[in-house]
Amino acid sequence: MENIFSALLLHNFPNLEKLIVQDCENVGEIIVEVETGDRGGHREDDGNTITLPNLKILCVESLPRLKSIYKGIMVCESLQDIYILECPMLRRLPISLHMNEDGEQTSAPPALQRICGEEEWWESLEWDNPLTKTTLQPFLFSLPKEAG
């Protein structure tokens, strides 16, 4: 299994509260965009947005090939906890931040309480906007890297 959901399929789960994916050696992407009319091919543009209004917990753990949770943006107003553990290839968090009227990112999702992950992973993340790391940093609870 290389991915878990298509973005289109995820629209059928508006009440999804927990998304937990653990110990899946071959998963490279959690949510994928699928071209309509294409037989399972992935879209290369990453300007897409999905809304998961009731998602409270996002946990991905022990996914050695995971490169992407989602290539677009995830709007998760209810998101409280993010756990990213033992996902060394993951370089981006697709979480949408709140924008002010000038279009600048200003605050984390309102319910967010914590982001748990290894400090090495956090420091290796690539950010769409430099303000994102500054905004999310206070929620980070660094965990020591597991001894292999």
Domain tally for the chain? Answer: 1
**pLDDT > 60? residue 44:** no
Is residue 48 a part of any domain in this protein?
Answer: yes
Distance CA 87, CA 121 (A): 8
Return the structure tokens found at 145.
């890297």
Is residue 99 a part of any domain in this protein?
Answer: yes
Is residue 148 a part of any domain in this protein?
Answer: no
Distance CA 137, CA 3 (A): 28
Is residue 35 a part of any domain in this protein?
Answer: yes
Is residue 131 a part of any domain in this protein?
Answer: yes
Is residue 81 a part of any domain in this protein?
Answer: yes
Distance CA 122, CA 128 (A): 14
Say which amino acid occupies 109.
P
The DSSP call for residue 14 is: T
Q: What is the DSSP string of 49-71?
A: EEE-TT--EEEEES-TT--BS-S
**pLDDT > 70? residue 90:** yes
Tell the residue number behind the tokens 């949408």, with chain if given. Answer: 96
Q: Residue 99: which domain range?
A: 3-143
pLDDT tens-digit readout, 101-112: 666 657 888 899
Which residue from 123, 118, 122 is spatially nearest to 148, judged by alpha carbons? 118
Q: Containing H/E element for 115?
A: strand 114-118
pLDDT tens-digit readout, 99-148: 766 666 578 888 999 999 999 999 999 988 778 888 999 999 988 765 44
Q: What is the pTM of this model?
A: 0.85
Is residue 69 a part of any domain in this protein?
Answer: yes
Contact 26, 50 (CB under 8 A): no
| Beta pairing class for 81-85 and 73-75 | unpaired
pLDDT at res. 122: 94
Mean pLDDT of 33-62: 73
pLDDT tens-digit readout, 1-37: 789 989 888 888 989 999 999 999 999 999 998 765 5
In this structure, of 52-61, 73-82, 113-122, 139-148, the range with the lowest mean pLDDT score is 139-148
The DSSP call for residue 23 is: S
Is residue 41 a part of any domain in this protein?
Answer: yes
